[in-house]
Chains A and B, each alone.
Chain A
Amino acid sequence: MKKIILLVIASASLLFFAGCDSIFITRDDFLLRMDALEKKIDSLATEQRRIVQLEDAIEELTFRFNFVQAIEPASIGYEEIEQLKYELRLIKNLLAESVIDSASSAAIVRTLYDKIDGVLGSSVQSNIVTKEIDDLNRKVQALETLNYSRYTELVERISEINTYDSSIDDSKYLELLARLDEIEIQPPVINIQEPDDGRYEELMAKIEELASRSDNTEVDNAKYESLLTRLGELERTVGSSAIDRELFNELVSRIDEMDARTRSLAENVQSESSDDYVSMSTFLGEISDIRSRLGAAAYETIEPVSYISYIVKSGDNLSSIAKAYGITMDQLKEMNPEISNWNLIYRGDEIKIPLSLDNLMAKASLASHFGLNLGIEFLVDSIESNFGSYDYGYANPGIDLTVPVNSRITAFLPGKVILSERVNDLYGEMVVVDHGNNIKTVYARLGSRTVSKGDFVRVGDTIGIASEIKGNLHFEFWKSDVPVNPADIIFDNAGTFQVTMYTEWDDGKNPTSPSFKMTASGNYVKGYRTVATDPTVIPTGSIVYIPFFSSSPNKGFFVVEDTGSSIKGNKLDVYTHDFNIASNFKEELLVYVVKKP
């Protein structure tokens, strides 16, 4: 019964739409009318689809207006926005009143899109560029102050000397003083690092104070030797933690260059001239490159020592430290002969852990730790967001991987958990581990955590479980408060290359040629994959990683498949489809070798 009613209603509807005046018609008439009906439905459907598209477009435009107004209202110009909003209202009204057809309104909406995109693009660029420059300036300041902290440490150590019970005889004191003088007169590695705020005076006052002591008791030789050792280490630390002057200057000049470009960009935004714009992709690439260089510089300061330097934290004891690092108390005592009272250690004391950081940080250990293989397809597919990429609206300070659901996430190095909590929506459940030697690692977006703040973890200890989301493991590696590109731990830093771009059209071939798009290796070029190098520098078949391209679909990974007559030495040519980009592209970029054939 229900079916019959439904059929009757459907038939009635069809008759209604077809405009029939009688239900008794010939077959030909019926077919003709059905054709007409079908055309009407097609036409109606097309029109409805257009209207839905238009509504979507209008909704999107409204969103963009709001976004533009939210980000930088001062730099855009209200008049332009008001004009665009007026046009949007107009088209809404026209549509509502059916005054214009959907094709015309689609054209108007498209024009509006172009306008709003122009305004939006400029504003977002201005906003992001300014933000990035500010951030980079902060990084530079952090680098500048990096060595200041060493002097502070020196002062603290001198204070520590004051607390010793025994005193020093004149000759040994003079020797010690000479060593301190030596440290003092050591030329600063970076000019701007030279303290000018009275810290040297403070240091000298401490030394004077030490000199003024009149106690001539026999020196405790063990403590004296320990003091000398510590000073020696201090000297080395101060020396090695300084960043190479040339590199530093280069970074500063690049940041200055970016600053100049920002100013130029701001002027361009004001003058509405788009000719000299820094393209967004180029700018973001620069950011990735600079950040990777900063990280690489910090990473290089990791000393090739055969032990881990652990700074005692509140609640620690020697047995817990020994247990955490999987060593015995005897091994710990042997490594730290200067500690006389093993029941009394203080927060801030340095304990040497007899574990080889070199071995723990061996190349590719991180890759194997996270189950990464070094094939390009695997890397492109499993890395959701690479270091320095702008996938979340800021330069990623780490790397986002997708690991199998419910995988155990384990500690990469031994250390102490200094944070274990849910931080925010972006980082989610997060664990931070301090490994000593100013190295910290961050594991975020975990499904769940299995460690608490204060826990010690050994290599391979589970700290959390992977969730089901894409990019379910966010990993950061920090050295001296500077984020290090994990590429520095996994891959070989091949240094700076002059990077240019080429297209399939450069050699004058056309698509009918058998060798069109064919590389020297016999493979065909592919965008976001193929690069050309000098085979004596990076052999054909190698996989390389260029942080500049971290925001590209290939996450910055390329395959060396081609060579070039002008590609000699540290030069690298990236294949692209876009001849406009290729003709203008020439950058000095950091390049890593992922794997050689």
Chain B
Amino acid sequence: MKRLFFISFCLVIVSIASGSVVIGQRYPLGIMPSGIVKVENGYGIYYVTLVKGDSELIVFDSSFKPVTIMDAIKNDGVNDIIYRDGKLYCFGFFSGRLVVIDASGYPGRWKKIDEIPTSSRLITGAFIDGRLGILSNENELIVLDTGNRTILKRYKLPVTALTIAEDSSRFYVSLFYNYNTLNRSMETEKGLMVFDINGQLSVSLDIGKRPSYISIDGDRLFLVSYMEENLKILNKNTLKEIKTIELGRYPNYPVMQSGKLWISITGEDRIMSIDLENYSTTSYDLLGKGPIKAVLHGGRIYVLETITGTLEILDENGRFVETVKLEGYPVDIAFSGRDAAVLLQEDWKTGKNTGAMLTMKIN
């Protein structure tokens, strides 16, 4: 009888442990962690977080356990990182240097292998065949040959740009600050500038106020206009407009997954999906407030909500499944099998001005 009870007890334990989301560890990070970058090399899969305020990288393994902290970029004030061909490229905002980290080995052996000065405060960049298109806070597009460490071109942009995307032969730059919110007037009518691999301007377009996020799918370009609150879909080759879709207040972080573009409408507590085939849209109202990013995983939609500090889970039809209290300001989420990690830019459980990585098990 006792053994039967034991077996039943084991079954109960199994059933409890297999709930939909079980919160795991809450790893304290530094000031202003800003995103999660996946690094896959011969040693495994790792997740790297840039802690902007402290300018350091924290590396997690595939089950989101912290592996190492890289503070080699401490003095660079790094604003963004990208991973390409076993290397992490770190854009130094304070130092103006592009710092290259060899990330091909086990994280404990990752090391800084190059520092390329540019004399400009670097924001972010994109790669085409070893050439890096970099945006700077000095209103520039810098084209850098990473092979011989030479700057091929500095193109002076009319205003500061924040987003750059690339295909096999062109850089696409959206001029976010083309509209002045103080005097409510356009600084320049131009919103999108297209450059070739040498940094020569191919074409520039009037695209609306404060164009921000750029996504590319095949021959199409998807451009979110922040102030005009719409999504413009262009033919990438002709740059002709295919369609404009109205979004809503504060559209953020478009994510392209499963034939759809998911956009969080932060100011209206809902997310939208745009079908990439027929451009039909679906809006999902949320229970939480301030969605900033929505990600599809395992047939479910995971929505990060900044005002309520929650992770809201919907099924693929948009029906509510579960809300997870994060007690922080989430900005990114990553999945690895049944493990997931939410990056909290602010951890509200402490009086400190720091963030945290919250791990969880999902089913």
Residue numbers of A with Cβ under 8 A of B are 5-6, 9-10, 13, 41-42, 44-46, 48-49, 107, 110, 376-377, 379-381, 505, 507-508, 510-514, 517, 523-524, 526-529, 553-554, 557, 559, 577-580
Select which of B3, B176, B345 is within 8 A of A6 by beta carbon. B3
Contact between B7 and A377, CB atoms less than 8 A apart: no
Select which of A45, A376, A512, A579 is within 8 A of B15 by beta carbon. A45
Of the A-B pairs whose beta carbons lie under 8 Å apart in the complex, a sample of 20, sorted by A's number, is: A9-B3, A9-B4, A13-B7, A41-B14, A42-B363, A45-B19, A46-B18, A49-B15, A49-B18, A49-B19, A507-B181, A510-B162, A514-B137, A517-B32, A523-B53, A527-B346, A528-B348, A577-B307, A577-B329, A578-B290
B124 touches A (CB below 8 Å): yes
Shortest Cβ distance from A551 into chain B, in angstroms?
15
Contact A529 B351, CB 8 Å, known A46-B20, A110-B320: yes
A376 CA to B307 CA in the complex, in Å? 23
Contact between A511 and B253, CB atoms less than 8 A apart: yes
Q: What residues on B are CB-neighbors of A46 within 8 Å?
A: 18-20, 363
Shortest Cβ distance from A518 into chain B, in angstroms?
9
A189 CA to B162 CA in the complex, in Å? 63
B343-356 interface bits toward A, Cβ cutoff 8 Å, 1 = contact, 0 = none: 00110101111000
Taking CB atoms and an 8 Å cut-off, the chain B residues in 244-291 that contact chain A are 250, 252-253, 266-267, 289-290
Total B residues in contact with A, Cβ cutoff 8 Å: 55
Find the B residue at minimum CB distance from A515: B137
Select which of A9, A513, A524 is within 8 A of B32 by beta carbon. A524
Q: What residues on A are CB-neighbors of B363 within 8 Å?
A: 42, 46
A499 CA to B292 CA in the complex, in Å? 27
B79 touches A (CB below 8 Å): yes
Select which of B4, B16, B250, B350 is within 8 A of A49 by beta carbon. B16
Shortest Cβ distance from A12 into chain B, in angstroms?
10
The residue in A48, A380, A529, A577 that gathers the most chain B C-beta atoms within 10 A of its C-beta is: A577
B205 touches A (CB below 8 Å): no
Shortest Cβ distance from B213 into chain A, in angstroms?
7
Contact between A529 and B307, CB atoms less than 8 A apart: no
B207 touches A (CB below 8 Å): no
Shortest Cβ distance from B254 into chain A, in angstroms?
12
Contact between B227 and A554, CB atoms less than 8 A apart: no
B62 touches A (CB below 8 Å): no
10 nearest A-B pairs in the assembled complex, by CB-CB distance: A45-B15, A380-B351, A45-B18, A377-B351, A508-B181, A512-B162, A49-B19, A48-B15, A524-B32, A577-B307
Contact between B31 and A524, CB atoms less than 8 A apart: yes
Q: What residues on A are CB-neighbors of B20 within 8 Å?
A: 46, 49
B49 touches A (CB below 8 Å): no
Contact between A514 and B123, CB atoms less than 8 A apart: yes
B335 touches A (CB below 8 Å): no
Q: What residues on B are CB-neighbors of A526 within 8 Å?
A: 346, 353
Select which of A45, A48, A511 is within 8 A of B292 by beta carbon. A511
Contact between B123 and A376, CB atoms less than 8 A apart: no
A49 CA to B14 CA in the complex, in Å? 11
A205 CA to B20 CA in the complex, in Å? 83
Q: What residues on B are CB-neighbors of A528 within 8 Å?
A: 348
B306 touches A (CB below 8 Å): yes
A553 CA to B137 CA in the complex, in Å? 36
Shortest Cβ distance from A497 into chain B, in angstroms?
22
A554 CA to B250 CA in the complex, in Å? 28
Q: What residues on B are CB-neighbors of A381 within 8 Å?
A: 351
Taking CB atoms and an 8 Å cut-off, the chain B residues in 328-363 that contact chain A are 329, 331, 345-346, 348, 350-353, 363
Shortest Cβ distance from B135 into chain A, in angstroms?
10
Select which of B6, B52, B213, B307 is within 8 A of A512 by beta carbon. B213
A3 CA to B137 CA in the complex, in Å? 70
Shortest Cβ distance from A341 into chain B, in angstroms?
59
B222 touches A (CB below 8 Å): no
Contact between B353 and A529, CB atoms less than 8 A apart: yes
Q: What residues on B are CB-neighbors of A13 within 8 Å?
A: 7
B230 touches A (CB below 8 Å): no
Shortest Cβ distance from A563 into chain B, in angstroms?
15
Q: What residues on B are CB-neighbors of A10 within 8 Å?
A: 7
A6 CA to B4 CA in the complex, in Å? 9
Taking CB atoms and an 8 Å cut-off, the chain B residues in 305-332 that contact chain A are 306-307, 319-320, 329, 331
Find the A residue at minimum CB distance from B79: A514
